[in-house]
Amino acid sequence: MATPSATASAYGARDHARAQEGGEVEAMPTVPASDWPTPPVGVAAEDVVWAETVAGGGYTHKVLARGTELRLTDVTGDACAHLLLHAAGRPWERLNVADTVKVLWNAYLGEGHLLLSDQGRVLASVVEDTSGRHDALTGTSTLVRNTARYGDGTPQSASPAGRELFKLAALKNGLTPRDLPPSVSFFQGVRIADDGTTRFTGSAGPGTTVTLRAEQDVTVLVANVPHPLDPRPEYTCGPLQVLAYRARPTAPVDALWNATPEARRAFLNTVDHLTARGLA
């Protein structure tokens, strides 16, 4: 750390700032993303478009092209990736958790699940999952809850709430709090017990991954914060690895397209919309 005298002038501050170039910390984006040292098997380095490690209590965001695959990795077993999706440039079409659950007759996210908008269209599909511990029912943490539980929930605190971080990510994409619907979360699961109560199942352990495929151009918002039902008294959240790379959207010949009548209709709705706009 520089001494106060070293940065007392504009020149000193400039020299100190420039000396940081090339330095790395544990959680930061890799720019350009193609410099990420370990792309997924079969993915060329030049096809990696987003590479970042998000610290616990951090957030990130990116606009991804249709067909891009997004791989999330729970590095230590303590990440919880709360996720929102918006159709890029059309924020009124966004993730609808209720339709994601009810249209597909399944409350538990996993491989083969589709993340739907309220237009009956697919925003993203889950193409791989080694965790199985996810949640489409509870949503993320709030300022009031975190303040009551940890003493603070503001974005700059040691225990930021997911909703507050989503507000920041939204702002950087021209969105407002009214554009933030309930979110889904990955890597910290819940199940509904026979008596109707929500049971927290926690993590499947370190190194598990979830891969999503963008079926439209989408704005992705991610808040990596503890699950609201996590019983641990301390604010506990580990790093989340985020990688995105060029691939292709789901096609009619793919098993996922025809997995269920509901899936087939959702994909048809999506392609019909994109075709009318000259995008498919």
Whether residue 2 has pLDDT greater than 60: no
Q: pLDDT at residue 76 above 80?
A: yes
Does 20 fall in a domain? Answer: no
Around Cβ 165, how many Cβ atoms within 10 Å?
25
Within a domain: 80:
yes
Into how many domains does the chain fold? 1
State the average pLDDT over residues 207-234: 98
Q: pLDDT tens, 28-67?
A: 899 999 999 999 999 999 999 999 999 999 999 999 999 9
Inside any domain, residue 35: yes
Q: Which string of DSSP letters, residue by residue, matches 162-202?
A: HHHHHHHHHHTTT--GGG----EEESSEEEE-TTS-EEEEE
Q: Evaluate whether residue 220 is within a structural domain.
A: yes
Could you tell me what percent of the chain has a pLDDT over 90?
90
Phi and psi (nearest 5°) for 150? Answer: -115, -10
Q: What CA–CA distance (Å, rounded) separates 268 from 262?
A: 10
Arithmetic mean of pLDDT, 257-271: 97
What spatial distance separates the first Cα and last Cα of the chain, rounded to whole Å? 52
Q: Is the pLDDT of residue 20 over 70?
A: no
Expressed as residue numbers, the domain containing 166 is 27-276
Residue 15 lies in a domain: no
More confident site: 23 or 91: 91
DSSP 69-118: EEEEEESSS---EEEEEEETTEEEEEB-HHHHHHTTT-SS--TT-EEEBT
Give CA–CA dist 175/236, Å, rounded: 28
Whole-number Å distance between alpha carbons of 138 and 182? 8
Q: How many residues does the chain have?
A: 280
Write the CB contacts of 217 (distance below 8 Å, at least 6 apart in sequence): 63, 64, 65, 66, 87, 88, 89, 279
In this prediction the pTM is 0.93
Nearest to 25 by CA among 237, 206, 239, 221: 239
* Alpha-carbon distance values, 46 to 29, 43, 54, 247 (Å): 16, 8, 22, 12
Tokens encoding 24: 């790395």
> For residue 47, how far is the Cα from the chain centroid?
20
| pLDDT of 97 strictly over 80 | yes
Residue 161 included in any domain: yes
